[in-house]
Structure 1
Amino acid sequence: MNAVSQTGPSIRFRGRSFMALTLVADTPLQPWLADFDVWVQRSPGFFTGRTVVLDFADTAQSKADVERWIGELAARGVRLTGLEGVRPSLVDASMPPVLRGGRDSSIPVAEAAAAAEVATPAPAEPRKPATPVNMLVERRIRSGQSLMCLEGDVTIIGSVGAGAEIIAGGSIHVYGTLAGRAIAGATFGAESQIFCTRLEAELLAVDGIYRTAEDIDDAFRGKAVRVWTADDTLRMAAL
């Protein structure tokens, strides 16, 4: 009688890329948290459902430092999925893993859901993309909608409603009313700008420097405006 060999279901492994927001730790902690609290109050739900990595930038000196940062962010509803810039000896199994080979850019949003089968992945060197991948949207971005393109500029032919959010690696161009949140320079930093034909924004940010609605001069409200950074300050001018 011949033996019959049965093969059970195989285990499949796939490589998959996800976009992550990186918070850069700065010391002392309390002033950093004060600024962070302002951001969260002005942009409630900003971190909800997002992949968030904390980059210590070699500021953590002890395990207690790491635990405190993680705890303070958790108390504010930010669940970290990874850590960077910290010695592995300061991290234990109860903490998010220490990540290696992170890049300042991401794959285009349109392809973010596609899974790529890989063999042994080679470590990627941090770099900026050589050729920006820009996004053009010809419709209104409604309240509650979020649009992200970390590889280039975002151009919107239409309005951005209150409660909507635009995040761009480069610059943001809005040919219409900008009433939501616009966050530029997530990848390309201070060389990025924001342009809109009618400013009614809840929040503006370029290269991590931001202003909330309360900090925007009334002289710019309802006007065509350019926003950029210089000397670590967010600058604005009517067009």
Structure 2
Amino acid sequence: MSGTHPPLPRIRMSGRSFLALTLTPEAPLEDWLVALDHQITRSVGFFAGKPVILDLSMMQADTPNLAFLLPALKERGIRVLGIENGDRSWPAVADWEWPESPVGGRSSGPITAPEEEPEGPPEPTTLLIEDPVRSGQHIVWPDGDVVILGAVASGAEVSAGGSIHVYGALRGRAIAGIGGHGNARIYTRNLAAELVAIDGFYATAEEMDPACTEKPAQVLLSGEALLFRPLP
């Protein structure tokens, strides 16, 4: 007796693009790390939640202190997504967890991190953006909330010291609470983001609560986990 089997479910797939930074360290590494620390101090939260490609093109097998480079970046909260132009056979990197660099990426040119004045903290202010944020745009506002009346396209990124409010669809990356503001939130009328992050804790599209995706939702930080809640 033969039975009839129900059709197999369709496997749904789609492509996603991400903005990534490339860091190219130079010798001597001690001086380069000092310069990196100064950059982090001047641009608070710039690296928060951002994937980074580590370019070893200026390194050699015998570069002093090379073994400590990757751990030093992790200590600074820098998430290394991939490593390029190095050699896994170098003894100095034998103990590294060597992530494969994503394929197909193209350089978008040098990026200048925004610098903050070392004087007292500015009064919180809100940045209002009336136009949609297009793919490839990168908005950084460390002084307060960001309010976007339109949508945030895939491939775009918005970073804020406070909360992020998107009145349209959020399809790109939203990074709130940079600089240690864990009470910040992300609000959107349509949660379809590539990545959301608050105070350095992030979730990719695959990690978001499916009950809140493609719907009005808010994202908040509870402890070390992001919570997703529907909006009325």
Q: TM-score, normalised by structure 2?
A: 0.54
CA drift of 1:130 comes to: 4.8
Corresponding position of 1:208:
200
User: Aligned partner of 1:183: which letter?
Assistant: I
Kindly state the Cα deviation for residue 175 of structure 1 after the two structures are TM-superposed: 0.5
Cα distance in 2, alignment partners of residues 49 and 68 from structure 1:
11
Structure 1 position 173, deviation (Å): 0.5
The 1:75–1:211 alpha-carbon spacing in structure 2 relative to 1, beyond 3 Å, is closer
- 2:165 is paired with a residue whose SS is strand
CA distance in 1 between partners of 2:184 and 2:115 (Å): 17
**More contact order relative to length (CA 8 Å, sep ≥ 6):** 2
Q: In the alignment, which residue of structure 2 is the partner of 1:194?
A: 186
Q: Give the Cα separation in 2 of the matches to 1:187 and 1:106.
A: 13
- SS in structure 2 of the partner of residue 141 of structure 1: coil
| Count of residue pairs the alignment pairs up | 147
Deviation at 1:45, TM superposition (A): 3.7
Structure 1: segments with no counterpart, 5+ residues: 1-41, 56-62, 78-104, 109-123
- Deviations along 1:153-181, one digit per CA (max 9) or x if unpaired, are 11100000111110111110000000000
1:142 aligns with 2:134: yes
Change (3 A) 1:169 1:66: same
What letter corresponds to residue 131 of structure 2 in structure 1?
Answer: R
Cα 1:48–1:156, aligned 2, differ >3 Å: closer, same or farther? farther
Assess if the C-alpha contact under 8 Å between 2:18 and 2:155 holds in 1.
no
Deviation at 1:66, TM superposition (A): 4.0
Which residue type is aligned with residue 156 of structure 1? I
Tell me the distance in 2 between the aligned counterparts of 1:74 and 1:106: 25
Q: Could you list the runs of 5+ residues in structure 2 that have no partner in the other structure?
A: 1-15, 25-34, 41-64, 75-79, 85-113
Give the AA of the match of 2:222.
A
Q: Over aligned residues, Cα RMSD in angstroms?
A: 3.4
Amino-acid identity (%): 38
Change (3 A) 1:196 1:49: farther
